[in-house]
Structure formats: structure tokens, C-alpha cells
Amino acid sequence: MLPELPPMQLTMLGRKDQYDRLNDFSAEEIHRIGIDEVARIQEEMRAIQERVGFTGSLQEFFDFVRADEQFLYPNTSG
């Protein structure tokens, strides 16, 4: 892994020197890092889901957040 960098910093910064560091990893290691990141993000989302009292599945929570009007910007165009 890349212990000296916070998660997702490689993609957020978009700096070539940091991307070049990925050459030190095999495709399998990079894939494992990605799988671990997805799991970490899903756990964070489950914690949020629990904190706000949503009782459906994680996919249902994503659908709810994506579609419910309380999370949408109002249409203020003319």
C-alpha cells in the first residue's frame, strides 16, 4: 500500500510523480488496493446510513440519496 499518502490522494491530486509510484505495484496489488478502498467507503456509508436512521439496504440508501428532493438543488432556471 501507500502508507504515507491518505486514501485516494493519488487520484485527487492528479500529479504524475505520484501516479508513477504505482509502477512499484503489480496489477493484483493495485486491484486489491481498489477493492479495499471500495470496502472502506461502503463501511463509511453504512455508518452514515445507521446514523441517519435509514433501515433499507445500502443500494436503497444510495437510491434514496440520489432521488429524494431534499438532496436536490432547486431548479431556479427561468
Cell match 471500495: residue? 38
23 in any annotated domain:
yes
What pLDDT does residue 2 have? 46
Does residue 2 lie in a domain region? Answer: no
C-alpha cell at 1: 500500500
Q: Residue 61: which domain range?
A: 9-71
CA–CA dist 58, 45 (Å, integer): 8
Separation CA 64–CA 10 (nearest Å): 30
Residue 55: per-residue pLDDT: 94
Task: Give residue 76's pLDDT.
Answer: 80
- Domain count of the chain? 1
Which tens digit of pLDDT belongs to each residue from 48-75?
Answer: 999 999 999 999 999 999 999 888 888 8
DSSP conformational letter for 63: H
Mean pLDDT of the chain: 80
Closest CA to 29 of 2, 4, 11, 64: 2
Is the separation of the CB atoms in 45 and 61 below 8 Å? Answer: yes
Secondary structure class of 25 (helix, strand, coil): coil
The pTM for the full model equals 0.59
Find the mean pLDDT for residues 24-43. Answer: 89
